[in-house]
A = this chain, B = another copy of it.
Amino acid sequence: MAKKVTVVEEILSENDRAALTNRAQLNDAGLFGLNLMASPGAGKTSVIMATIQALGDKLRIGYIDGDLASSIDVDKVAELGVPAVQINTGGLCHLDAFMMQGALPQLSLSELDLLVVENVGNLVCPSGFRLGIHRNVLIASVPEGDDKPYKYPAMYLGVDVMLLNKMDVIEAFDFDMEYFKRGVEILNPGLAFFPVSCKTGEGLDNWLAWVRSEVAAFKEGIVAVYEPR
């Protein structure tokens, strides 16, 4: 009598398959990647520039910028002397793994330690598309308000670390930190969280230490699982 065998296979989307390919390519190159997501104007580019300025002499950093239009961000970052690639999405609201496939060959991956990807400014759509990048980073910002975790849960659910930027203006806004943190904690318990100000530099040390320890852990092979986020 024939045995009954049940085959369980996770059906990956086309995008997820492309993300797996990207992840393998980064891993093979020994290159650790961050995918920065945020609302428009929350400070993605400012965080990236501060990170390059602080760590550029310790890590070889590359930059991929996703924008609907304009080369404002990529021009700023390229001025810091890091290899920079622009993905112009032509109006599309997020980066996806296929756009990354187009951008990655523009960089000498094996000559870099850290790849920073700046996603399109959008608190909704980017969370739905895996890029194959190792860590998803959310830049929240004080002026956006303390209720954003409750209103945009998918973004808060899917990230590995969060910065809360523009702490220098918190007195000017009615921002209830406990309410904000409670919303984050419900969605993403124990999420690493750094309040910062790119303007004053407040709190950036903690973020920079996190980046360095993640890159080091990756280099030591602790993060060797081929599982795209």
| Interface residue? A123 (CB, 8 A) | yes
Question: Which of A55-63, A66-74, A78-86, A100-108 participates in binding chain B?
Answer: A66-74
- CB-CB contacts below 8 Å: A37-58 with B: 39-41
- With a cutoff of 8 Å between Cβ atoms, the chain B residues found around residue A39 in the complex are 39-41, 121, 123, 144
Q: Are A67 and B151 in contact (CB under 8 A)?
A: yes
Q: Are A93 and B143 in contact (CB under 8 A)?
A: no
Q: Are B41 and A124 in contact (CB under 8 A)?
A: no
Nearest chain B residue, comparing its CB with the CB of A144: B41
- With a cutoff of 8 Å between Cβ atoms, the chain B residues found around residue A154 in the complex are 68, 91
Judged by DSSP, the binding face of A is: loop
Nearest chain B residue, comparing its CB with the CB of A154: B91
Give Cα A39–Cα B40 distance, bound, in whole angstroms.
Answer: 7
Q: Are A143 and B124 in contact (CB under 8 A)?
A: no
Q: A150-185 toward B: CB 8 Å interface, digit per residue (1/0)?
A: 111110000000000010110011000000000000
Some 6 contacts from A to B, beta carbons below 8 A apart, are A39-B41, A39-B123, A41-B145, A70-B150, A70-B151, A168-B172
Q: Sorted from nearest, which 6 A-B pairs have the closest CB atoms?
A: A41-B144, A143-B143, A93-B124, A41-B145, A70-B150, A39-B40
